[in-house]
Amino acid sequence: MTRSLLVFFVATTTGCTAAQLANTSAGYREVEKTVATVLISDAQEAALGQQIRKELDTGTADRPALKYCTDAQVNGYVEGLIAKLTPHADKDRPSKWAVYVIDDPKTVNAFVTPGAQIYVYTGLLMMSETEAEVVGVLGHELGHVVARHSGRQMVNAFGINAISEVALGKDPGTLAQIAAAIVGNGAMLAHSRSDENEADTFAVKYSAAANYDASGIAGFFEKLIATHGNTPRLLTWISTHPAPADRIASVNQQVMDQGLAGRGELGAERLAPIKQRIAALPAR
């Protein structure tokens, strides 16, 4: 379906005029979100997420299979942080959250796949200095789910026809093909500029709601700049999108505007022993 037909479809289902939706980028983003909501159910997103996990776990010659952390204390720590955030995210979009900790202390990364499945590298914990920084990054990933960013990208990347086939169950192979494409070329594991900014807004919201310093994600960006410069390549959701310096300023402005500055926990004392435990795990 062409952009104009997609806009017309949403206009007829929402009561907005096609001109209102088409004339701004925000309007077209709303088009994508509405179509994703209508055509892609939570169950279908979950099925795609499971298919993506199979792809990630299988690996290829160019992309090794993920190695998951087996340390119960480290896994429990990350799961506990997620559990502090999900009640607030569920108010915006109820989801069946799942988190997987990847045993890779050299990779500073986290990403989310359709079906509210969050992947967190141990390197993210090692880079962070406070629990609030980790929470900020996790809140950002939850924001991608709440805002249906993966569904919008599916509509944009694969077309309305392919998504319709998945929704109607006409072509069971389409789901596997989409999953393979997502893992193979990184689609939906890296997000657009507007998606990243929106997810940062959720990071501030959920961090504050969980009683953490709402500027935690900005603090995390500052660590990246100090260590790797203003355009670090450590995070796929940073490397091709707003420079961390721009996002730091945006987050800090939101924190000031909402009267959140100086409020909330940092939790450095709780993160420190987890980092020590990760460092002591067998070499990999």
pLDDT digits (tens, 9 = 90+) for 225-281: 887 665 444 454 444 455 678 889 999 999 999 999 999 999 999 999 999 999 999
Question: Is residue 21 very low, low, confident or very high in pLDDT (cuts 50, 70, 90)?
Answer: very low
Shared domain check, 32 and 101: no
Shared domain check, 138 and 19: no
Global pTM exceeds 0.75: yes
pLDDT digits (tens, 9 = 90+) for 155-205: 766 666 666 666 656 666 666 777 777 776 655 455 677 888 999 999 999
Shared domain check, 177 and 79: yes
Which helix (H) or strand (E) segment holds residue 101: the answer is strand 98-102
Shared domain check, 254 and 165: yes
- Please report the pLDDT score of residue 178 as a whole number: 72
Q: Please check whether residue 92 lies inside any domain of the structure.
A: yes
Our count of domains for the chain comes to 2
pLDDT digits (tens, 9 = 90+) for 186-200: 554 556 778 889 999
Shared domain check, 134 and 8: no
- Please report the pLDDT score of residue 249 as a whole number: 94
Residue 37 has pLDDT above 70, yes or no: no
Shared domain check, 142 and 10: no
Shared domain check, 190 and 72: yes
Asked if 202 contacts 140 with a C-beta cutoff of 8 angstroms, the reply is yes
Q: Please check whether residue 82 lies inside any domain of the structure.
A: yes
Percentages helix, strand, coil for the chain, rounded to the nearest 5? 65, 5, 25
Q: Please check whether residue 73 lies inside any domain of the structure.
A: yes
Shared domain check, 185 and 119: yes
Shared domain check, 195 and 67: yes
Asked if 75 contacts 278 with a C-beta cutoff of 8 angstroms, the reply is no
Considering only residues 153 and 104, tell me which one the structure prediction assigns the higher pLDDT: 104
What whole-number distance in Å separates Cα of residue 43 and Cα of residue 40? 8
Shared domain check, 122 and 20: no
Q: Please check whether residue 71 lies inside any domain of the structure.
A: yes
Shared domain check, 165 and 252: yes
Q: Please check whether residue 271 lies inside any domain of the structure.
A: yes
For the chain, how long is the longest CA-to-CA vector?
Answer: 60
Query: Which residues form the domain of 239?
Result: 41-279
Q: Please check whether residue 284 lies inside any domain of the structure.
A: no
Shared domain check, 78 and 128: yes
Considering only residues 215 and 111, tell me which one the structure prediction assigns the higher pLDDT: 215
